Structure 1
């Protein structure tokens, strides 16, 4: 009787052990597939972001240097005003003439200078947005890395899936794919501003 009761107890535990074994096998397979997917995705996106960051940094530096040449067109040139006053003094102008000159000389930048600088600043803004977006996306990808995680395979898998679902919900890949478009817009605005600058030289 005792032998039969113990054998029946072992048989009742058998389905549970099989079920637990299936769950463990599932999470092992999930871990293997997820690791391969995450490594491939992370490497691909990180490589793209590295190239974009380098280009955005260099292009922003070039853009900033060019803006330093065009900014003076938005403000009066002190040397020009000084030369005009010196000419008046040399020509023997009296105080009334100098006062009239001071009141009549109000600087106003030309529309083409304003448009040129607006284009260059918009270009710089687009490249900086791309650079900032790339840095944020790299941090996001780093948070998806499971290196150093502790806990059971099931717990790690659930945490990974939750992070992956969040990345999908917030369209991480779409954002990363858009960043090069922002750089292209920046380049287009920059060269448009350069063309306007060249027009002002004629």
Structure 2
């Protein structure tokens, strides 16, 4: 009986593997060789965002697809909508997200991602990507700067409503910093807020292509 069961499982996996490989191949063909590793952790998520920013993927119209969002960001569930003026993308379930946050009768995702790209503008193309944590992140101040490099300044952006202030418990607790980079006719800004333990609470990535 066990032998027959093992044989059935082997045959089932053998049938599924071509489907998995085909989906991975399709996803890789969309994003090219820029992001060579799917996001399997929160650190992978931010490493892949860094690669996408460096290659100006956020301002590309074909960036937002469900396959791309699942692969780049580690999403269990992703959606992309296109209307006459905008491209919207969102993720409310990550493979590393954890349990929902329950507030009374309200159930919120522990991590959310929102992306939007206008299809009409003043000549510049501006994409925005927001990541919001509602539970303790696994990405510290040190991790974040290790991934995105130096050159940070205190943020000039008003305090994010997603940043919850408590008495700092660690160095760089409650930090709110920003980074600017311009290269090859494009620029991007990163605005990140940390909690009292100096872990990420909220990040905004804005990329502008002139």
- What TM-score comes out, normalization by structure 2 length? 0.25
**Greater C-alpha radius of gyration:** 1
Quick one: higher RCO (CA 8 Å, sep 6+), 1 or 2? 1
More helix by share: 1
- What TM-score comes out, normalization by structure 1 length? 0.26
More strand by share: 2
